[in-house]
C-alpha cells in the first residue's frame, strides 16, 4: 500500500503524479472518502494531468460523465452517491464501461462494490486537518 500526504492544495499536483505512476496500466480506480474529502478535486487534477480536454465536473445527477483526452481516448467519471439499488448500476450498463479497457474513475464505489473488477485500484482520501489529506492507494 502506498500512502501520500497532501499538506494543502498547492501539493495536489505532485500527489497526483505519484498516484498516476502507481496506477499505471490500471483502468478502474475507485475513490473512497467522506463527503468533502476531495474525491472530485483529485479526479479533476488527475484528468488535467492526463490531458483531458473537456470540462471535468462531478456527475452526481447523470451518474457518469464521459471526457476525452487530447488523443481522443475516452475517460469515464462515475458518481454513485445517489443510487439506492445496485440495479441502477445494471440499468446504466456499467459492464460496458468497466470492461471497455478505458479509464473509469469512480466516486462512492461502496454503493456498487460487488460490481468492481478484482483488479480495481482503491484510493482512500482522508482529511486529517484543515486542508491536509492522506491518500492511500491499494492495488
pLDDT (tens digit per residue) in 110-130: 999 999 999 999 999 999 988
Domain map of the chain by residue range?
Answer: 2-138
User: For residue 61, is pLDDT > 90?
Assistant: no
Range 105-117 burial, b when 16+ CB lie within 10 A, else e? bbbbbebbeebbe
Residue 60: pLDDT band with limits 50, 70, 90: confident
76-106, pLDDT tens digit by residue? 999 999 999 999 999 999 999 999 999 999 9
* Dist. CA 103–CA 100, nearest whole Å: 8
Percentage of residues in the chain with pLDDT exceeding 70? 100
What is the domain class of 2-138 according to CATH?
A: alpha beta
Amino acid at each position: 500500500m502506498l500512502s501520500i500526504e497532501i499538506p494543502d492544495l498547492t501539493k495536489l499536483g505532485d500527489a497526483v503524479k505519484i498516484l498516476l505512476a502507481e496506477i499505471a496500466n490500471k483502468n478502474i480506480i475507485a475513490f473512497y472518502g467522506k463527503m468533502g474529502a476531495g474525491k472530485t478535486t483529485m479526479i479533476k487534477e488527475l484528468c488535467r494531468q492526463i490531458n483531458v480536454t473537456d470540462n471535468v465536473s462531478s456527475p452526481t445527477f447523470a451518474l457518469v460523465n464521459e471526457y476525452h483526452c487530447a488523443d481522443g481516448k475516452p475517460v469515464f467519471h462515475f458518481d454513485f452517491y445517489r443510487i439506492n439499488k445496485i440495479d441502477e448500476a445494471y440499468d446504466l450498463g456499467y459492464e460496458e464501461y468497466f470492461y471497455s479497457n478505458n479509464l473509469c474513475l469512480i466516486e462512492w464505489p461502496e454503493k456498487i462494490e460487488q460490481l468492481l473488477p478484482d483488479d480495481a485500484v482503491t484510493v482512500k482520501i482522508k482529511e486529517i486537518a484543515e486542508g491536509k489529506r492522506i491518500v492511500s492507494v491499494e492495488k
